[in-house]
Structure 1
Amino acid sequence: MDSLTQIVLGGALAAAVAPPQHRRAALLAGVALGTLPDLDWLVLLPLGLDPVDNMTWHRGPSHSLFVLIALAALMWAAFKRLGGRVAESPVRWFWAIQLALVTHPLLDALTVYGTQLWWPLPVSPTMWSTLFIIDLAYTLPLLVACVLAWRRRDGRGSQRALVLGLALSSLYVGWSFVAKAQVDRAADQALAAMGLQDAPRFSVPTPFNTLLWQVVAMTPDGYLTGQYSLVADAGPVRLDPRPSDVQAMASVRDFPAVARLRWFNHGFMSAREVDGQLVLSDLRMGLEPDFTFRFVVAERDGDSWRAVAPTQAPWPTDTIRRLPEVWHRIGSPEPTP
């Protein structure tokens, strides 16, 4: 999720758990802890990694539950040893620190990017894909709660605001799972009718909402995409075929950068040749055909492909211009072909 959301979640949790007389200090501590895992870029940047490694190592060790649980315990022990507020109320501060840190990767896992919750275990990143990376319906209750908690300091109204903000944001997360389940059922119906019931697929909310979803399914000769509005659509999702150079993809699948991407994005990517270069697009982020992450990974070498140092194509700008059509589509049913 975006930095503001992580900050207010960490702040709200720490302030709600810590003793009332420590609320402002806990709020500040939670803000710092809530953003700490995303500072992994300070480590990655000096390493001079290529774009594929940069993408796939972000939300890596710094987002591991094993690492963060241990780090939180060490921080708690260190501050307790120093005395002060943590020593005054060690149990409450233990949980305040743990929750502010550990909920960061759990919240990130709700997006489609991929979060390595179980690093160093060799499993693909977790992507529950129930929330878009920025969603004000989740963030605003927490932001308001943090502001009220800061202004009212140790009053009862402060605690009520924090509990209410956390409850509303948690209910929204629960709704996002319900919404995703509805979309997945509609996608399953469509794929079963096409004889593709076993096709790898995923659904993800479109920008800033949980009412309009994008569905992608992989096929032997490419992939399918469709949109489904929980407001306007009924029945199966309409899925349209999209081309992908599956032969080229098969030829380069063992190139290190391609293997790393395939592990990271669960194989949800397409390939196309552009001016003698092979461009792979991560199908999980962006709106068809303007996908956010596109990488050049190989060059044509006669009838085969030669691996090159990965480079990232510029981010598409059309996605921003297409936002009005996204909002319009929420209330408009999918036109029949």
Structure 2
Amino acid sequence: MDSVTQAALGATIAGAVAGKQCNAKVLLAGAVLGTLPDLDVVLDYGDAVSNTIKHRGFTHSLLLLPPFALLLSWLYCRFRPDAFWSFKRVSVLTVSVLVTHTLLDAMTTYGTQLIWPFEGYFELRNIFIIDPLYTLPLLMAIIVALFSKTMGARWCQSVLLLSTLYLGWGFAAQQYIANRVEHNLAAQNLPNKQVMITPTPFNTVLWRVVVMDDDYYWEGLASILDKDTNIDFLARPLGAWPLEEKPATLEGLKAFSHNYLNYREENDSLIVSDLRLGMGNNLSFEFVYAERDEAGNWILADAPQRFPSQRGFEHLSTLWERMKGDQSIDANLTKQTLGYNR
């Protein structure tokens, strides 16, 4: 999730644990702890792909965060002894904030290395990386806690319950769409071996569906509010890796994306795209792996670079209409608005 949400979640948890001792300092400490795991973004692993796939690594590991939280708690109690803030209470706060950070990240589409140093990326994809309906109640609880000593902790506790229920709603909505997708794939004779269902920006009502096959992938949209259960899928070629040599970063990207990858040539550049994040041709993670020389041969890059994808918010109004169940705009949305006519 975004940094604002993680900080807000950390502050809200801290306020809930603090109870009557909830104050601005406690909320600030929770916010700082809530953003701590994301400081790994300052690390440079040498190239754009490595920086992407190694994010949410050791700083998000459920094998490392609890002992690290206990160490922080011991250090705090060692140098700032307090009758109320016992080692037990401080430990509950620090462990809760750090662990919920990585668990919330694992509910997005990006992928989180929950058991680092062991291999594996985990994601439930039941919430978008930015969702106002999740974040705004947390911010509201923090505001109440800053101005009300008697109601602050209770608001934090209540909003934590509400936010957890919202995550549960996201998962339930995803399963509802998954059942609909399964029926559509069978009716349209499409493959069902590798299917991704993930929310579109800022909501859990409109869902993006990606269906993989050997040579093509299909992309469609499905809203909880649709009256027609049919999903209009658009097929696109997957492309293939054209070189004999496969760099280690490509294998890493395959693992990171669970092989939801697309290969294409554009302006004499070999571009590899992660199909999970973004929509249509507005994909978030695209990398230039090779360039053609004057003879037309591919020259593998020493270090893959980020491809400057054009992403913006100009299509949000169209997505809003589609979210409300207007399926008549599907063709325009997938083929033109999202850049399918490249």
Report if TM-score (shorter chain) is over 0.5.
yes
Per-residue CA shift, 1:30-83, capped at 9, x if unaligned?
1110010111122x14x5x21101111111111111121111010011112223
- Which runs of no fewer than 5 residues in structure 1 stay unpaired? none
Aligned twin of 1:222: 216
Change (3 A) 1:298 1:92: same
Aligned twin of 2:260: 268
SS at match of 2:272: strand
Change (3 A) 1:88 1:325: closer
CA contact (8 A) 2:22 2:145 kept: no
CA contact (8 A) 1:79 1:86 kept: no
Does structure 1 residue 140 correspond to structure 2 residue 136?
yes
Of 111, 114, 126 in structure 1, the residue corresponding to residue 111 of structure 2 is: 114
Per-residue CA shift, 1:77-108, capped at 9, x if unaligned?
11122233377432222101111111111111
Change (3 A) 1:23 1:275: same
SS at match of 1:85: coil
Per-residue CA shift, 1:119-167, capped at 9, x if unaligned?
10112x11111111111100011111111112113x1x22221122111
What is the one-letter code of the residue matched to 1:232?
D
- Give the TM-score, by structure 1 length: 0.91
Change (3 A) 1:306 1:200: farther
Aligned twin of 2:15: 15
Aligned twin of 2:79: 82
SS at match of 1:118: coil
Does structure 1 residue 289 correspond to structure 2 residue 281?
yes
Identity of aligned residues (%): 38
Aligned twin of 2:339: none
Q: Offset of 1:304 from its aligned partner? A: 7.0
SS at match of 1:202: strand
| Two-structure CA RMSD over aligned residues (Å) | 2.1
Does structure 1 residue 329 correspond to structure 2 residue 322?
yes
CA contact (8 A) 2:239 2:263 kept: yes
CA contact (8 A) 2:17 2:89 kept: yes
Q: Offset of 1:25 from its aligned partner? A: 3.2
Change (3 A) 1:208 1:253: farther
CA contact (8 A) 1:2 1:133 kept: yes
SS at match of 1:264: helix
Question: Could you tell which deviates more after superposition, 70-79 or 190-199?
Answer: 190-199
CA contact (8 A) 1:252 1:305 kept: no
Q: Offset of 1:203 from its aligned partner? A: 0.8
CA contact (8 A) 1:14 1:100 kept: yes
Name the CA distance, whole Å, in 1 between partners of 2:181 and 2:250.
Answer: 28
Aligned twin of 1:256: 248
Does structure 1 residue 27 correspond to structure 2 residue 27?
yes
Q: Offset of 1:299 from its aligned partner? A: 3.4
CA contact (8 A) 2:111 2:123 kept: yes
Change (3 A) 1:99 1:253: farther
Q: Offset of 1:334 from its aligned partner? A: 2.4
Of 138, 148, 155 in structure 2, the residue corresponding to residue 152 of structure 1 is: 148
SS at match of 1:213: strand
- Give the TM-score, by structure 2 length: 0.89
Per-residue CA shift, 1:196-223, capped at 9, x if unaligned?
4542111111111111110001111121
Per-residue CA shift, 1:11-40, capped at 9, x if unaligned?
111111125225443212111100101111
Change (3 A) 1:82 1:229: same
Change (3 A) 1:36 1:28: same
Name the CA distance, whole Å, in 2 between partners of 1:239 and 1:187.
Answer: 10
Aligned twin of 1:307: 300
Change (3 A) 1:240 1:186: same
Question: Could you tell which deviates more after superposition, 111-120 or 185-194?
Answer: 185-194
Aligned twin of 1:161: 155
Larger helix fraction of residues: 1
CA contact (8 A) 1:8 1:139 kept: yes
CA contact (8 A) 2:226 2:324 kept: yes
CA contact (8 A) 1:253 1:259 kept: no
What is the one-letter code of the residue matched to 1:107?
L
SS at match of 1:132: coil
CA contact (8 A) 2:22 2:152 kept: no
Aligned twin of 1:244: 238
Change (3 A) 1:32 1:4: same
Aligned twin of 2:56: 59
- Which runs of no fewer than 5 residues in structure 2 stay unpaired? 332-342
Q: Offset of 1:170 from its aligned partner? A: 1.1
What is the one-letter code of the residue matched to 2:100?
T
